[in-house]
């Protein structure tokens, strides 16, 4: 599903539509109302909440480490590309 705003003559409103069946549009209020009902029926034990939090933290730390590594390598890559570019121009 994807969501967006649609404009009518008087105002704009939120809607959701199916990616595979583009002719089906669902009002945003209905989607969020049903989602709230679904979430209201969910309940987790303390252990499950801890597991979710720990897993999310590990994923976040991994993602941040990958981003830091990419940023660390960017100056080297730029120097290599600039060096190649400079040699190509001087020929």
So what's the pLDDT on residue 82? 62
Q: What is the pLDDT of residues 6-49, one digit of tens each?
A: 777 777 778 787 788 778 778 888 888 998 999 888 888 999 99
So what's the pLDDT on residue 48? 94
Q: Which residues contact 3 (CB under 8 A, 6 or more apart)?
A: 14, 15, 16, 17, 28, 31
pLDDT at 78 over 80: no
Of the pLDDT bands very low, low, confident and very high (cuts 50, 70, 90), residue 85 is: low
pTM: 0.41
Six-digit token pair at 37?
Answer: 């009902």
Long-range contacts of 29-34 (CB under 8 A, 24+ apart): 31/1, 31/3
């Amino acid at each position: 599903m994807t969501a967006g705003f649609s404009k009518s003559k008087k105002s704009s409103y939120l809607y959701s539509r199916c990616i595979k069946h583009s002719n089906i549009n669902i009002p945003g209020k209905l989607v969020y109302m049903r989602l709230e009902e679904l979430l209201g029926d969910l309940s987790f034990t303390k252990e499950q909440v801890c597991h979710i939090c720990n897993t999310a933290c590990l994923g976040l730390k991994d993602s941040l480490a990958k981003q830091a590594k990419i940023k660390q390598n960017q100056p080297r890559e730029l120097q290599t590309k600039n060096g190649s570019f400079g040699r190509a121009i001087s020929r």
